[in-house]
Structure 1
Amino acid sequence: MIETIITPVTHDLGAFKVRRSLPAKTRTMVGPFIFVDQFGPARLGPGEGMDVRPHPHINLATVTYLFEGTIDHRDSLGSFQTIAPGAINLMTAGKGIVHSERSPADTRAAGPGFYGMQTWLALPDGKEEIDPAFEHVAGAGLPLVEGEGVRARVLMGSLWGVSAATTCHSPTIYADLVLQAGASVAIEAEADERALLVTEGQASIDGEAVTLFDLVILAPGHRAVLTAESASRAMLLGGGAFATPRHVFWNFVSSSRERIQQAKEDWRGGRFPTVPGDEAEYIPLPEVPLTVSYP
């Protein structure tokens, strides 16, 4: 049973599109997921690259997962990691972190391609101001569950009898589902809140066709069935419901508006740390950001 369907807001950046499902006017969170972006597939021209300049985060964890392409991650802890398809990058901002995301130098001559997901997880009460941290789990280190025409990579939490090693600051489920035409997979009702996002192919939930890139919120307690009408791919996400609301302004998430205001002032005042190896540029605080949510 489907509870709600959220059609993403599409931002056309010229070379590629970003589809943002959360936060939405009708819904701000699914479990800890407070921000859901799907980007690509895209291929840039020769000599071009993705260049997301250094920018700050607080009170959240970012999760980057790629279907295609590679991205170089750098952060103010000194972490450097090239993200490849099938791996998961978890960056916990906690009390504050700065990072950049750029196409690797060796991909730019031919024109890099990329296709994937970036999501943010709100940190739970009592953990919003933990120390920042970085974690990378290669695809080989993530459980792969295979059934009849179905392959599910469990990225976070426990699903289908297996558990990912990725740190979860609150109850979280996240999985990449690849289905052959005609195959089905049951989505059990173990998590408080669950959603599916079909990124490829044609699929249905309990017999109801779903539109590509829509975020489909499943009814709590309902065992849903995802069926592929053609070869398909979908992301399953969710987890424990939050008892207290979260505010979002630009790259800042917090249960406190005052904390977000302080983060804005700290970024303007240059009080966040810099990113080793990427100190020359940064993204200024916008007057009117694309992402704002004050529940």
Structure 2
Amino acid sequence: MIPSRRKDLGGFEVGRVLPWTKRRMVGPFIFFDHMGPVNFPPNVPRTTDVRPHPHIGLSTITYLFDGEIVHRDSVGFHQLIRPGEVNWMTAGSGISHSERFDTIREQGGALHGIQAWVALPDFAEEADPSFVHFDATELPSLAEPGMSVKVIAGSAYGMTSPVKTHSPLFYAHIELAPGRITQVCGEYSERAVYVAKGSVHIDGELYQAGQMAVLTPGAMPVITAFDPSIVMMLGGEPVGPRHIWWNFVSSSKDRIEQAKADWRAGRIKMPVGDDREFIPLPEDPPPPPEPMS
């Protein structure tokens, strides 16, 4: 069991799950943050926004249950992120982006979601940066009495997401009514279940909101909801050891040093339409990775 470690970002809290001291990754998933839930008051300050910052060697996904975030990146995309949608950004050789609360700044509003990073395999670490968006209605889903499933990426429950990934993985959003039973997806060597809301029994052991269960390879445990619950299932095949420093992920320490020098020298482009401020490179040793992916 991995507990989330809560951190105040000066306006709302996130719970850091991955990386953890005893478990750095689950499949290619190297970073996992639970954002909120929080209700922003009217006139939420701009200091709550995540200013432009860089990434290399990974793909990011900000998945919302509630609220809105405005995404801008150096490839030129300006996208409103809404609940149930996929906004999949591949940093590859280098990208910068910002995530702001422009649409809820004046009147306030709720925010609740998950931010995850997927480490790219060796052959894709220097891929051209890119961004894709899929509406909630474009993602495969099913609804049964007491349960709904949406496949965000990869394949699960007999469904396959349209999101192109660079290595075998899966990521799914499941909602369960009290007493509803389901089983964890198989086929992948590394898998985990994260409880985002409510509480569930996994093979009889209780897991509550903010806890991740990392499963034994090959195990097919039964999940039973104790309360109305939201669980995120994730995993895939390992891509090999990865270094993580601030917002940079790579198989090479030298590549991370180059990324640090590039951001310090301004060689990584700023987000189009959002280039008046940025997060400077931290001093060594770095703080934990920026919670907003």
Q: TM-score range by the shorter chain?
A: over 0.9
SS of 1:157's equivalent in the other structure is strand
Residue 268 of structure 1 corresponds to which residue in structure 2? 264
Query: CA shift at 1:14, angstroms?
Result: 4.0
CA contact (8 A) 1:103 1:112 kept: no
* Pairing 1:128-143 to 2, within 5 Å after superposition: 128-143=125-140
CA contact (8 A) 2:43 2:106 kept: yes
Query: Amino acid of the residue matched to residue 116 of structure 1?
Result: G
Q: Distance in 2 between matches of 1:272 and 1:172?
A: 29
Pairs aligned (count):
286
Change (3 A) 1:213 1:263: same
Residue 161 of structure 2 corresponds to which residue in structure 1? 164
SS of 2:22's equivalent in the other structure is coil
Unaligned runs of 5+ in 1: none
**After the TM superposition, which of the residue ranges 143-152 and 74-83 deviates more from structure 2?**
143-152
Q: Distance in 1 between matches of 2:237 and 2:144?
A: 27
Instruction: Tell me whether 1:29 sits opposite 2:25 in the alignment.
Output: yes
Instruction: Tell me whether 1:122 sits opposite 2:140 in the alignment.
Output: no
CA contact (8 A) 1:248 1:291 kept: no
CA contact (8 A) 1:58 1:251 kept: yes
Show CA shifts across 1:40-84 (max 9, x none).
Answer: 011222111541100000010001100000000000011010000
Q: TM-score, normalised by structure 1?
A: 0.94
2:99 corresponds to which of 78, 98, 101: 101
Instruction: Tell me whether 1:44 sits opposite 2:16 in the alignment.
Output: no
CA contact (8 A) 1:188 1:224 kept: no
Residue 253 of structure 2 corresponds to which residue in structure 1? 257
CA contact (8 A) 2:198 2:208 kept: no
Query: Amino acid of the residue matched to residue 176 of structure 2?
Result: L
Q: Distance in 2 between matches of 1:100 and 1:112?
A: 19
Identity, in percent, stands at: 48
**After the TM superposition, which of the residue ranges 53-62 and 198-207 deviates more from structure 2?**
198-207
Query: CA shift at 1:104, angstroms?
Result: 2.5
Instruction: Indicate the RMSD between aligned Cα atoms, in angstroms.
Output: 1.2
Q: Distance in 2 between matches of 1:79 and 1:57?
A: 15
SS of 1:126's equivalent in the other structure is helix
Instruction: Tell me whether 1:83 sits opposite 2:81 in the alignment.
Output: yes
CA contact (8 A) 1:82 1:104 kept: no
Show CA shifts across 1:62-115 (max 9, x none).
Answer: 01100000000000011010000000110000000000000124x211113210
Residue 277 of structure 2 corresponds to which residue in structure 1? 281
Query: Amino acid of the residue matched to residue 137 of structure 1?
Result: F
CA contact (8 A) 1:199 1:232 kept: yes
**After the TM superposition, which of the residue ranges 66-75 and 12-21 deviates more from structure 2?**
12-21
* Pairing 1:130-279 to 2, within 5 Å after superposition: 130-242=127-239, 244-279=240-275
CA contact (8 A) 2:197 2:208 kept: no
Q: Distance in 2 between matches of 1:104 and 1:238?
A: 33
Show CA shifts across 1:202-230 (max 9, x none).
Answer: 21101110132111101110111111011
CA contact (8 A) 2:50 2:98 kept: yes
Show CA shifts across 1:7-59 (max 9, x none).
Answer: 12211224311111111110111011000000101122211154110000001
SS of 2:196's equivalent in the other structure is strand
Instruction: Tell me whether 1:15 sits opposite 2:7 in the alignment.
Output: no
Q: TM-score, normalised by structure 2?
A: 0.95
Unaligned runs of 5+ in 2: none
Q: Distance in 1 between matches of 2:286 and 2:196?
A: 26
Show CA shifts across 1:128-181 (max 9, x none).
Answer: 000000011110000112233110111011111111101111001000010001
Query: After the TM superposition, which parts of structure 1 deviate over 4 Å for at least 4 consecutive aligned residues?
Result: none
